[in-house]
Structure 1
Amino acid sequence: MHPDQSHTPTRPQSEQVASLCLDVDRMLDEFTRLPMRATFRFDADRPSVVTVEFATERGRALVRRRIGRELLHGGLTAMSGCGEVRMWPTLPRERPSSWLLLEAPDVEALFEVPTARLAAWLAATYRIVPAEVEPVPLDWDGFLMGLLDGPEAGAG
């Protein structure tokens, strides 16, 4: 290895999950669907986040989002997420699916995502990195209270 190259340890192939490509539909309105391809990628070094890239049938990438793995997993069976990313199951029918809503200022996109293969893929990611070993998120409420109270809060 050249001294200028940084060594980034990689996991053995047996500990990696292949990307998942799914055919999804973007809902343009109540009756109009735009078929798309969604590619889900998991990096065991950043297990709490799944990268999802949406592309048209012709392969032109439209958007890439990082979505919480827990949000995706929860959205298979119940309402999950808040704010600009939410997911929830559709009404029962022959093809189980979930709605995935992505919002940004002045634009939103609603996708219907088939759930069977996504559920199996997510299960594979949890076998590699179980939820309980993911990094603990920062306690934002406690952090902000500490900032607002400041060191002088006790002296008064």
Structure 2
Amino acid sequence: MHRDQSPLRARPVPGHVPPLLLDVDQMLDEFTRQPVRAAFHFDPDAPAVISVEFLAERGPGLLWRIGRELLHRGVTSMSGSGEVRMWPTLSRERPSSWLLLESPDVEALFELPTARLAEWLDATYRIVTAEAEMAGLDWDAFLRRLLGSPGAAAD
């Protein structure tokens, strides 16, 4: 057996991108940062959406589902509108982006390091391309559910 073929080495699972854990900063005000750990999850069965869990040191975490395209674009330019927006910072010291999350209950601004995030997002696009991410969507059922039409399956 070749020394690089150790039976104990974990083999990558085709179609699987491991979660990305990033140390991010939550901006509490203009001058105060709070370090937070964020876990990014990709599901190839729902490729258009990335689940991001902000893990609190104490208390419950905060889970947001964010469009993969919004994150991908937000690394290099302004992206999103409404409750979720992302754009690159102006700092040249370390490449990063601002991620703003807003809802009636929460408003949070995070600074994310972009190099690892961009690399991880690229890996998700190698699994499911942007062109293929909506291929499995049943548009009729989606519209029935959205419009509350009779015969729509309840979740």
Give a deviation string over 1:71-93, Cα, whole Å, max 9, x none.
Answer: 00000000000000000000032
Report SS of the residue matched to 1:116: helix
Structure 1 regions of 5+ residues with no counterpart?
1-11, 148-156
Q: Return the letter of the residue paired with 1:49.
A: V
Query: Cα distance, 1:39 vs. partner?
Result: 0.2
| Residue number in structure 1 paired with 2:75 | 76
Aligned-pair Cα RMSD in Å: 2.1
Aligned equivalents of 1:55, 1:123: Cα separation in 2: 24
1:50 aligns with 2:19: no
Q: Which has the higher helix share?
A: 1
* Contact preservation (8 Å) 1:53, 1:61: no
Q: TM-score of the superposition, structure 1-length normalised? A: 0.76
Query: Cα distance, 1:15 vs. partner?
Result: 1.5
Aligned residues: 129
Structure 2 regions of 5+ residues with no counterpart?
1-11, 148-155
Q: Which structure: larger Rg?
A: 1
* Contact preservation (8 Å) 1:23, 1:38: yes
Aligned equivalents of 1:132, 1:32: Cα separation in 2: 40
Matches within 5 A, 1:49-128: 49-56=49-56, 58=57, 60-128=59-127
Q: Return the letter of the residue paired with 1:33.
A: R
| Residue number in structure 1 paired with 2:23 | 23
Query: Cα distance, 1:61 vs. partner?
Result: 3.7
Query: Cα distance, 1:42 vs. partner?
Result: 0.1
* Contact preservation (8 Å) 1:26, 1:112: yes
Q: TM-score of the superposition, structure 2-length normalised? A: 0.77
